[in-house]
Structure 1
Amino acid sequence: MKTVFKNKILSLFVVIFFNTTGTINANNPPKKDFKKNYIQNINLSKSIFITGSPIITATGNQIYCPQTSIKIVTDISINDPAENTINAINVQISSGYLIGEDVLTLTGSHPTVTSIWNAETGKLSLTSINGNPLPHSDFINAVKNIEFKTSSAVPTGSRNFSINLGKSNYLPSSTHYYQFVSSPGISWGNAKRAAESSSYFGLKGYLATITTLDEAKFIGEQLSGNGWIAGSDALKEGEWRWQSGPEMGTIFWNGLQAGYTTTFAYWNNYKEPDNGGIIDFIKRPGVEDYAYITDPNNGQKGTWNDLELYGVEDPTKFNHPKGYIVEYGGMPGDPPLQMSASTTLTMLAITSTVAPQICNSGSSKLEATTSTGTINWYDTAIGGNIIATGTNFATPILNTSTTYYVESTIAGCKTQRTPVDVKVNSVPNITPETVLSPVCGFGIFFLKVTASEGIINWFPTNSGGSILGTGFTYITPQISTNTTFYAEANNNNCISLTRTPFKIEIYPLPPVTDQKVAICIPGSVELDVSIPNMTYLWNTGETSQTIKAPTTGIYTVDVTSPAPENCTNTKKITVFEYDKPEIKNVKVDETTVTIELIKNEDYFEYSIDDIYYQSSNVFTNAPSGLQTAYVREINQCSIDDKPFIVIIVPKYFTPNNDGYNDVWEIKGLINYPLAEVILFDRYGKKIAQLNHSNRGWDGTFNKNPLPATDYWYVLKLDTNSPELKGHFSLKR
């Protein structure tokens, strides 16, 4: 919101020149202009010292009667203690202006005054015919004879008029003054400095800050050019601030074109600010940091674009800078000015109507609002009698659509009658076209209806609920349980009396589960459907619940439930043969035995006595001697075995005659009369030979003690058994 300072009138010591339009200084500091013009006017002997600026007041807030002309003021006065003549007055439609429809015209005889109407800006300029200043009274009489007229038969809203003594344009809603300064090619920085060095009858100038739609339209659509304004995101990319004026530092936009505002922004066609487009943004981030009112040939008139500091340098391009907008008012220390007056015309108009529709028959309560005056209701477009007065009118019982007419009137003026249509719509009926039968398991269904009128909406419930779809046909998702959908007809919000149900019944399929069954070849295996009281049909042609499968392969059976369902589901049984076990090695560590296979399977089981089998391939506490390892498939279809020997060989002995471990002896060797053990020293020299009768070694060679170290052995239980090799330690 613009800041308006309402200070008490300050006594000003200023110089007013013969043309009291004030000094708008765009290029030089105010002191230079003051000195230059003061000297010039001394030479002309026309400098006057006063204690204030000219004051203009006007009255004339009125109602506008359509298709008529009306004077924009009822009275006007100009008070200038320093001068009783002026060169010009500008009258502008400052808000609500409709180009091509609204016009201001100077009527009557005014031999000293000429008028120029600018349809582009909505401004009527009154000037002296010979260029010399005229008495205030000449311009006062002329303004009193300015008439407004619009060509619209049904004008709406209001028109605000600003009557200005100076060159700047005045906007009553902001109480600020504005001027477009033509300066082709000027940069944003130079425009900002020039605007801030400008003054207008003591008001400090600044590059315009636009904070309302009314201000945006006035500046962008009714001033004579496009140019720079004070917005910039140069301080922080994507954070647009006003960089001049009372709003200095205020953030008004965040982001690119998809950004947001918490105050007001008026970017062009939802495509700005674009920072030069995505390609330029990647190459040169932050390239367009300054706000500019868009050229009217390149977007919606009055909206904004973001440009580089110097804009587009080619003068033939749209975005070549044309100038800048200077705003006056709201700065600290500004004196109060009354160099502009304003009046308002309110268009006599019906501003809104409401006509609730009727379903089948009934009464409708009609509503109408007006900008001012009295509302009258008619049942004819022209002529006829008033059937009601006021903002509300309750119709009689209606069975068919009927049009009423409403007008607003005040002091002999009335609007064109506005039609108010009361729609009487019939309540629609629904005819189902889809006949549903129970289905087995699941399905997708096409539900179809016809309606006497209107559209069809589909719902999941009999009342309320969200709309699932619209149209005469509804395709359901896949349904696997009993479900009901409902169709409702809507004829302009006249709803069918009840929703039409579509009940979908789903019969369950027999709960079959596919299986895998192992078979021993040669042999057979029994296959069982495991679901009783059904009808069965195997791919072998058999019809019983169980069958014998003589070979591997895939067997299928169609399982059908009893009537009335008669739903069929197919079970698949895969008959296969397990792999045969193959022993790779039997690892013996004293009494721990591990059976190692070429390929391990979960369905193998293990034994070392062919009596007790286990799922683990590791056995502990195995008895000594020659053993056999067994591995079989769990169904005993196949088996493999391998012999192994469990011998307990001491890891060391201590021949010190203490009665413990004095000799090295393989336990259990006594059970093997053909066994033979040969001992070697570390150099491979044979030092002893043991057998069934000579089972132990005392650590000597030729009755001489051997040193403490490691020795090696080779064991063979008989001529057919494998050799066992190892080593042990002699400790003293």
Structure 2
Amino acid sequence: MKSINFFKILILFFILSFNSSHANEIFKTLDKTAISKINDTLKSNKKNSTQTILAITPPVIKATGDQLYCPLNSIKIVTDFSITHDPAETGTQAVYIQISSGYSSGLEQLSLSNPALHPTIVASWDATSGKLKLSSPTGLDVLYSDFVEAVKDVVFTNSSATASGTRTFSITIGQANYLPSTQHYYLFVPSIGITWTAARDAADTSTYYGLKGYLATILSADEAKLIGEQASGTGWIGGSDAETEGVWKWVTGPEAGTIFWNGTGNGSTPNFAFWNTGEPNNQGGNEKYAHITQPGVGIKGSWNDLSNTGDTSGDYQPKGYVVEYGGSPGELPLQIAASTKITIPTITTVLTPKPVCDSGNFTIDATATAGATINWYSQATGGTPIATGSSYTTPILNTTTTYYVDAGCESNRKSVIAVVNKTSATPTVASSDVSRCGPGTVNLQASTDVGVINWYTSAAGGTSIFTGNNFTTPILSSATIYYAESSNNGCINTNRTPVNIKIYTPPAVIDEEVSMCQFQKKTLDAGVAGMTYLWSNGATTQTTEISTGGTYTVDVTSPSPESCTSRKTIKVEEHEIPKIDRIDINGTRVVIYLAKEQDYFEYSVDGLNFQDSNVFYDVPGGLQTAYVKEKSGCGGTAQNFVVLVFPAFFTPNNDSYNDLWEVAGMENYPQAQVTIFDQYGKLLAQLSVSRMSWDGTFNKIPLPASDYWYALKIDNTKPVLRGHFSLKR
């Protein structure tokens, strides 16, 4: 480092004693190393053998003005402001005022009112950082006294009618952001592509008005918002897990060694952390250092982990670093900054009073932001308060009334309703006497002028079993009384109206199934005497005569007052007279087929023995008769048929048993012919009504025992029947 010429120092001291603006001109003639040394001396108030005469006490800033504020208005940020400074330093180039907590970007602004009254100062607003800069338009120092008057004219505005909360204003000399909750200063230093280790070393060697710098450590949401969202760029902060993978610590400044995160993106914090979504992720295995994420990537102002160098371009290229000043061992807080705050007063709670019945007064309680005055109104906007204080007692009210309360800001005015409920009249029931026929449910109806109907099983007390104008009872089998009571939001008319329910027994009827003969008439009977009747065929007597089958009903109604009706159903099945369609004969098996089969028909082949089946076996040969009749005697029919029996064998040995072979029943067919052959087809005999048997001879010569064949032709309308039989000797 170059040494400062002693002669130059004497000249500088002399000029500083008379005019600080001339000192700035002298500084321009000194070499840069000398200027740097002198500035550091002024800011840190260090003293040594060569610089004692140049030491300047840092200014002391004081501000008052903790105020209440209503949105959509403007308010001065201080009620009083002062700068106490070293006589050797009468001014500076800039004063910074920042909304350091609670800032809503785009809705809030700081500005210099009456700028014409402050010709030595120009104001510029940075909406990103929420910071107003008051500075010299010429680049020369501005007197502290001018800054004091200008700060007193700085106003805050908020354009949202629904704004709430507290805003803190930091007023400081120097560009660094000041946070009142920590009394620390924060400065973003642009440096494209700087490594984390280089940023750490640069921060560690920097000072700010004598305060030692270090890479920022972030312990609260206030710090995270100020550094991450209201800073001028992204950059390194003092967190790392280089010592132990997954154990993130603050490794710079007075918080060095403090663990603030364990694990990766799904880990946890023992105090405070503000990682971006999915961070830290240790991508590539060498991301060991904490970095404030580029704006537009994920959560605004959040953190990500990078390698020592980061990317060479793009969103994950380091753009600089954040230096924090304050809190190092042995340091006392500087007084180059002060803060004030405004609080938007709101009603924090307002308790809705309990309703009253018919009339009464109400006591309404509310709480508000500390220091605010609670005002009560009878209208939603404007008007004069009808009362002030945390509690308001209304006059006696006969109707529901709405009141309004605020804490000084009309835009935050809240409503509260004092409800007066009218006690309803005695319930009106549709009928006080209700009946039904037989067990079942009953629908009861009641109404009231206001409110609802509650139903009970007792004349007083008890618990409501149903609420509503229409009540369907459970199944009832005996007389029961229910009671209707009207209620309007807790205002109860205790005069309950009874409803008597009677249960009558309906006539006892039994359904029937009966039969009748086709083409005949039948009398149907309701089965219960002394009632009123209505048949489905229009008859109104106990009995009715019908001539066709079908389903008939009769409504049987008991005399008044019961007037209960039961319906009897009689199913009448009309039985037809059977008609034989055909009779199939196969040997001695006979099947009788009808034109229409019915299960009420029965069959016989001898006229004596009847059966349900139409199939008969072992029917004797000859002329037979088939009988079919309706079981209950409605009528029947008969038809003859012939059974032809061909003997399976015969024994012509003159013992009088089976000596001849003859076809039983053939006599019923005068035109029938039977031709007999041997196994070679030789014609042996021919039978007819004139010769109905064969004796087993041919030309009177006995034929040997063997099988022989026959063919029966009854007439030209029936097929030829063929078969064989045995001749046994």
Quote the Cα distance in structure 2 between the aligned partners of 1:729 and 1:325.
110
DSSP-derived class of the 2:305 partner: coil
* Partner of residue 277, structure 2: 247
DSSP-derived class of the 1:430 partner: coil
Q: Does 1:632 align with 2:662?
A: no
Q: Does 1:615 align with 2:612?
A: yes
Q: Does 1:201 align with 2:207?
A: no
How far apart are residue 695 of structure 1 and its match?
5.9
How far apart are residue 561 of structure 1 and its match?
0.9
**Cα shift readout 1:125-145 (whole Å, capped 9, x = no counterpart):** 536564969899899997786
CA distance change for structure 1 residues 501 and 621 in 2, over 3 Å: closer, same or farther?
A: farther
Q: Does 1:368 align with 2:341?
A: no
How far apart are residue 147 of structure 1 and its match?
3.6
How far apart are residue 697 of structure 1 and its match?
5.9
**Cα shift readout 1:15-71 (whole Å, capped 9, x = no counterpart):** xxxxxxxxxxxxxxxxxxxxxxxxxxxxxx99x99xxxxxxx999995625588352
CA distance change for structure 1 residues 248 and 377 in 2, over 3 Å: closer, same or farther?
A: closer
User: Among residues 423, 426, 434, which one is paired with 1:427 in the alignment?
Assistant: 423
CA distance change for structure 1 residues 136 and 393 in 2, over 3 Å: closer, same or farther?
A: same
How far apart are residue 616 of structure 1 and its match?
2.9
* 8 Å Cα contact 2:662-2:692 kept in structure 1: no
Quote the Cα distance in structure 1 between the aligned partners of 2:69 and 2:324.
30
CA distance change for structure 1 residues 540 and 328 in 2, over 3 Å: closer, same or farther?
A: closer
* 8 Å Cα contact 1:605-1:616 kept in structure 2: yes
Quote the Cα distance in structure 2 between the aligned partners of 1:60 and 1:693.
151
Q: Give the partner amino acid of 1:64.
A: L
* 8 Å Cα contact 2:436-2:442 kept in structure 1: no
How far apart are residue 450 of structure 1 and its match?
3.8
Quote the Cα distance in structure 2 between the aligned partners of 1:199 and 1:696.
138
Q: Give the partner amino acid of 1:596.
A: Y
Query: Gapped runs of 5+ residues in structure 2?
Result: 1-31, 38-60, 84-91, 171-176, 178-186, 191-219, 239-274, 281-295, 307-317, 326-336
User: Among residues 428, 452, 461, which one is paired with 1:456 in the alignment?
Assistant: 452
CA distance change for structure 1 residues 540 and 161 in 2, over 3 Å: closer, same or farther?
A: closer
* Partner of residue 201, structure 2: none
Quote the Cα distance in structure 2 between the aligned partners of 1:133 and 1:649.
151
CA distance change for structure 1 residues 704 and 459 in 2, over 3 Å: closer, same or farther?
A: same
How far apart are residue 382 of structure 1 and its match?
6.9
User: Among residues 146, 165, 186, which one is paired with 1:158 in the alignment?
Assistant: 165
Query: Gapped runs of 5+ residues in structure 1?
Result: 1-44, 50-56, 78-83, 181-197, 205-244, 251-322
How far apart are residue 544 of structure 1 and its match?
5.2
Q: Give the partner amino acid of 1:359.
A: C
Quote the Cα distance in structure 1 between the aligned partners of 2:602 and 2:681.
43
* Partner of residue 359, structure 1: 357
Q: Does 1:561 align with 2:595?
A: no
Q: Give the partner amino acid of 1:246.
A: N
* Partner of residue 106, structure 1: 112
* Partner of residue 602, structure 2: 605
**Cα shift readout 1:303-337 (whole Å, capped 9, x = no counterpart):** xxxxxxxxxxxxxxxxxxxx999944311149666
How far apart are residue 434 of structure 1 and its match?
2.7
* Partner of residue 64, structure 1: 68
Quote the Cα distance in structure 1 between the aligned partners of 2:368 and 2:680.
126
Quote the Cα distance in structure 1 between the aligned partners of 2:446 and 2:560.
29
Quote the Cα distance in structure 1 between the aligned partners of 2:235 and 2:79.
25
**Cα shift readout 1:414-466 (whole Å, capped 9, x = no counterpart):** 99997755434332223416336656669997945342xx3335769884456
Quote the Cα distance in structure 2 between the aligned partners of 1:585 and 1:530.
44
* 8 Å Cα contact 2:583-2:591 kept in structure 1: yes
* 8 Å Cα contact 1:178-1:326 kept in structure 2: no
Q: Does 1:643 align with 2:654?
A: no
Q: Does 1:148 align with 2:156?
A: yes
Quote the Cα distance in structure 1 between the aligned partners of 2:237 and 2:641.
115
Quote the Cα distance in structure 1 between the aligned partners of 2:491 and 2:371.
35
* 8 Å Cα contact 1:538-1:557 kept in structure 2: yes
CA distance change for structure 1 residues 715 and 342 in 2, over 3 Å: closer, same or farther?
A: farther
Q: Give the partner amino acid of 2:234.
A: Y
Higher relative contact order (CA closer than 8 Å, sequence separation 6+): 1
**Cα shift readout 1:255-294 (whole Å, capped 9, x = no counterpart):** xxxxxxxxxxxxxxxxxxxxxxxxxxxxxxxxxxxxxxxx
User: Among residues 320, 324, 332, which one is paired with 2:305 in the alignment?
Assistant: 332
DSSP-derived class of the 2:494 partner: coil
**Cα shift readout 1:71-90 (whole Å, capped 9, x = no counterpart):** 2899999xxxxxx9789876
Quote the Cα distance in structure 2 between the aligned partners of 1:460 and 1:567.
28
Quote the Cα distance in structure 2 between the aligned partners of 1:703 and 1:61.
156
DSSP-derived class of the 1:605 partner: strand
How far apart are residue 527 of structure 1 and its match?
1.0
Q: How many equivalent pairs are there?
A: 524
How far apart are residue 529 of structure 1 and its match?
1.2
Alignment of 1:236-315 (within 5 A): 246-248=276-278
Quote the Cα distance in structure 1 between the aligned partners of 2:457 and 2:339.
62
How far apart are residue 370 of structure 1 and its match?
2.7
**Cα shift readout 1:344-369 (whole Å, capped 9, x = no counterpart):** 64333322212111235678674433
Q: Give the partner amino acid of 1:643.
A: N
Quote the Cα distance in structure 1 between the aligned partners of 2:370 and 2:700.
139
Structure 2-normalised TM-score?
0.51
* Partner of residue 583, structure 2: 586
Quote the Cα distance in structure 2 between the aligned partners of 1:73 and 1:700.
163
User: Among residues 703, 711, 714, which one is paired with 1:713 in the alignment?
Assistant: 711
How far apart are residue 557 of structure 1 and its match?
4.5
How far apart are residue 150 of structure 1 and its match?
6.0
Higher Cα Rg: structure 1 or 2? 2
Q: Give the partner amino acid of 2:303.
A: G
Q: Give the partner amino acid of 1:604.
A: F
* 8 Å Cα contact 2:660-2:693 kept in structure 1: no
DSSP-derived class of the 1:331 partner: strand
DSSP-derived class of the 2:575 partner: coil
How far apart are residue 158 of structure 1 and its match?
0.5
Quote the Cα distance in structure 1 between the aligned partners of 2:624 and 2:682.
32
CA distance change for structure 1 residues 711 and 499 in 2, over 3 Å: closer, same or farther?
A: farther
Q: Percent identity?
A: 29
Quote the Cα distance in structure 1 between the aligned partners of 2:445 and 2:617.
72
CA distance change for structure 1 residues 86 and 384 in 2, over 3 Å: closer, same or farther?
A: closer
Structure 1-normalised TM-score?
0.51
**Cα shift readout 1:558-599 (whole Å, capped 9, x = no counterpart):** 522133212445656576643442222323445543322233
* Partner of residue 10, structure 2: none
Q: Give the partner amino acid of 2:164.
A: G
CA distance change for structure 1 residues 434 and 625 in 2, over 3 Å: closer, same or farther?
A: same
CA distance change for structure 1 residues 475 and 384 in 2, over 3 Å: closer, same or farther?
A: closer
* 8 Å Cα contact 1:172-1:342 kept in structure 2: no
**Cα shift readout 1:472-518 (whole Å, capped 9, x = no counterpart):** xx598999999988765443443443665556667565466776754
DSSP-derived class of the 1:679 partner: strand
CA distance change for structure 1 residues 673 and 111 in 2, over 3 Å: closer, same or farther?
A: closer
